Structures are given as C-alpha cells and as structure tokens.
Amino acid sequence: MMGCALCGPGVNHGARTAPEANESGVESGSGRGTGTGAWLKSEPLPLSEAQKGLIRESWKILHEDIARVGIIMFIRLFETHPECKDVFFIFRDIDDLQELKMSKELQAHGLRVMSFIEKSVARLSQEDKLEQIAFELGRSHCRYSAPPKYYEYVGVQFISVVKPIVKENWTQEVEDSWKSLFSYLTAVMKRGYHEEERKDGVNKANYGTQAPSVRPGATGSVQNDV
C-alpha cells in the first residue's frame, strides 16, 4: 500500500473531483458491472474459514504493536527496495534510515497502512466490502501515481516484521494465510489502479489533459485514502 506526495493539509483546488461512490462501491450514475467504476469480482477470496481464523488470532497479538510494525515495515521496504522512496517525494533525498525512523510523516503513513490491514481483517467475512476497500485504494493510488509494481512488496515486509512478534504462534499455516490475503488485496488493488487509469485515459481523450482526481477535503496525499 504505497503512499505518495506526503504534503501538508489543504485541498488541491486545481484538481478535478472524483465521482462519489454509493454504498455498493459503484460511482453514482454507473450501474454495477456496466458503468465505469464498478468493482465486480474477478476472483474469489482465496481463504478458508480456518485460514481466516488464523489471521484474526495473529492480528490480536499484533494489534498492540501496530505503530512499531508500521514504521519497521517501511524502513525495511526502503532498505530492500530503495527505489520505493521515489513515490514519497518527501523522503526521496533522505538516506539516513535513523532519520527516517524518527519521521512523523512516515510514522503516520505506517499507521494508516496498518489501519487498512486492520479493516481488511475485520471484513474477512464480508467479501464484497473487503473487495470494495481494496479496489478503491487501488484507484486512489493511480490518482497519486503509486504504481502497482510496489504493492506486493508491502505484504512481504509485513510478514518479515511480524514473525518475531507473534513468536511461537507463527506457523507455516499462519504465514500461508497472510500471503494469500496480501496476494488477493494486491490483485484487487491492481484492478482498481488499471480501472482508474483506463478512466483517466478516456477522460483525457474526451476533454483533454486534466489534473489528478482528488476527493473533496483530500490533502493530495494517498495516505489519507488508506
């Protein structure tokens, strides 16, 4: 779940506003499966009830440590894939990882990503809602130019960070369950990204080049959409 343009508060008044979504996750004025913005399923959630239970139980252990997990996850992400910093212009020129660890902006983004994971865990039995939030997150990442090639890295780093926290409760079954969840979320986010990319291409063809979409009250930072 990469973020970008971590800027201060304030609306980008030059940007066009994205259409509102209704309760089903479909933009107003578009029919589910027929209009632009529909988030029809393309694949089922690849988790058994037993796997969902393993994720929920391990999350209970992690929940008290989410702030630390969030910051360590991103520090490791920047260590293993330094090119990811290009998506965060505020961190682009910071090479000192200790300095990054103390960054309030990075801590805040780490918490927002962990919040998205928490929402996902809470919706494991509500597949439509789980798919909706992942699809919309993918769309917002497109609007803020955070490409899909980075999405899968987050799940890998999350698992590497939480293993020592869960300790003896971390088993291969638990790991496989989390891997399946992140694989699903990544796939749905990519669909959302490409749907928004396609829409943007159509809009540009019809109306000329336009600024990226920003919802009312947004800061211009995808972190606020997590």
CATH number assigned to the domain comprising residue 99: 1.10.490.10
Query: What pLDDT was estimated at residue 94?
Result: 64
Q: Does residue 118 lie within any of the structural domains?
A: yes
CB 87 within 8 A of CB 148: no
The pLDDT of 189-210, averaged and rounded, is 72
pLDDT average, residue stretch 89-105: 69
Instruction: Give the amino acid at 104.
Output: K
Closest by CA to 177, choosing from 49, 47, 69, 56, is 47
Q: What is the pTM assigned to this prediction?
A: 0.70
Q: Which range marks the domain in which residue 65 is found?
A: 49-199
Strand partners, 15: none
Q: How far apart are CA 120 and CA 186, in angstroms?
A: 12
Q: What is the mean pLDDT of residues 137-149?
A: 83
Which has more pLDDT, 98 or 186? Answer: 186
Q: Which two tokens stand for residue 108?
A: 């805040």
Average pLDDT over residues 136-158: 86
What does pLDDT average to over the chain?
74
Per residue in 17-42, pLDDT (tens digit) is 333 343 333 333 333 443 444 555 66
pLDDT at 7: 31
CA distance linking residue 87 with residue 64, whole number of Å: 29
Closest C-alpha among 170, 91, 117 to residue 1: 117
The percent of residues above 70 in pLDDT, for the chain, comes to 63
Q: Which residue has the higher pLDDT, 188 or 1?
A: 188
Provide CB contacts within 8 A for 107, sequence distance 6+: 67, 70, 71
Indicate whether 190 belongs to any domain.
yes
Q: Is residue 10 part of a domain?
A: no
Residue 35 makes CB contacts below 8 A (sequence gap 6+) with 26, 27, 29
Least confident of 67-76, 163-172, 176-185: 67-76
Number of domains in the chain: 1
Mean pLDDT of 94-120: 82
More confidently predicted of 50 and 83: 50
Cβ atoms within 10 Å, residue 15: 16
- Residue 132 belongs to some domain of the structure: yes
Report the alpha-carbon distance of residue 109 to residue 226 in Å, rounded. Answer: 9
